[in-house]
Amino acid sequence: NAGVTQTPKFQVLKTGQSMTLQCAQDMNHEYMSWYRQDPGMGLRLIHYSVGAGITDQGEVPNGYNVSRSTTEDFPLRLLSAAPSQTSVYFCASSYLGLSSGNTIYFGEGSWLTVV
């Protein structure tokens, strides 16, 4: 009963380093997305995907890359970490469509600090 699994849970990076946040879901969801959460800003959409091979930018895509080679996985890459990317990152997934059953499921969050 894994749901949405994201790793690592905590990470400290130095400015300029690169890293990948992993996200996997086992519910065969078409939709996957990455959000960052900063105090007073809510959850802001970084990138999202509506299926394998299809990705698009969200509200704050700069400095991040994504790919979707399989339905299950949606990694988020920080190309050259900056202190402004210190945040809590959430991966989320759901079926597409406007049905009441299409709840958005979230991972537990990844706390990233860039020093």
Q: Where does this chain bind other proteins (CB under 8 A)?
A: 31, 33, 35, 40-45, 48, 50, 56, 58-59, 88, 90, 92, 94, 96-100, 102-106, 108-109
Q: How far is the CB of 105 from other proteins (least distance, A)?
A: 8
Beta bridge partners of 89: 36, 110
3-state secondary structure the chain: CCCEEEECCEEEECCCCCEEEEEEECCCCCEEEEEEEECCCEEEEEEEEEECCEEEECCCCCCEEECCCCCCECCEEECCCCHHHCEEEEEEEECCCCCCCCCCEECCCEEEEEC
Nearer to other proteins, 18 or 113 (CB): 113
Q: How far is the CB of 61 from other proteins (least distance, A)?
A: 11
Q: How far is the CB of 108 from other proteins (least distance, A)?
A: 6
Give the burial class of 98: count Cβ atoms within 10 A of its Cβ; 0-12 exposed, 13-18 middle, 19 or more buried: exposed
Nearer to other proteins, 3 or 16 (CB): 3
Q: How far is the CB of 92 from other proteins (least distance, A)?
A: 7
Nearer to other proteins, 64 or 90 (CB): 90
Nearer to other proteins, 17 or 95 (CB): 95
